[in-house]
Structure 1
Amino acid sequence: MRSQVLRRCRLQSIDLQKALSGVDYPADRDHLVGAARDNNAPDGVVNALSEPSEEGYETPAGVSKAVFSHS
């Protein structure tokens, strides 16, 4: 659990923006993870996108909220 918190602390909003460049919303979690991989995002970003329980997101702000508030 502690390593997840530390990893999330190092993750910044700009990392998500870069990883999700070109994504059309609404988008589901699998699409976001795939886009991050296609954009060569670091593993920490891909893992962070995989963790939230929400299945879909209407906006980039919704993704950020889910990633940064997930505990």
Structure 2
Amino acid sequence: MSTSNAKNPAIRKFIDVQKALKGASYPAAKKDLLNTAKQNGADEEAMEALAALPEEEYANPAQVSKAVGNED
């Protein structure tokens, strides 16, 4: 049985969201994060995860990651 993180959907989503936000400027509003992700060619799952975030300003990538992790 494999315990690789790459097979864990939550970990994969977390990584995809961080890749999608490469180059983002913080603090950033949700709409800014969505725009950055779109410009970076984010996949549908990453875009959905960002779209599900609360409408607030995010101070740094860690805050975004925490919010993405709490959406489930």
TM-score range, shorter chain: 0.7 to 0.9
Moved over 4 A (4+): none
- The normalised TM-score by structure 2 is 0.78
Within 2, Cα distance between the matches of 1:53 and 1:28? Answer: 10
**In 1, are the aligned partners of 2:14 and 2:68 still within 8 Å (CA)?**
no
- The normalised TM-score by structure 1 is 0.79
Matching residue of 2:51: 50
Two-structure CA RMSD over aligned residues (Å): 1.6
Select the structure of larger CA radius of gyration. Answer: 2
Gaps of 5+ in 1: 1-7
**In 2, are the aligned partners of 1:19 and 1:39 still within 8 Å (CA)?**
yes
Within 1, Cα distance between the matches of 2:32 and 2:22? Answer: 12
Amino acid at match of 2:59: E
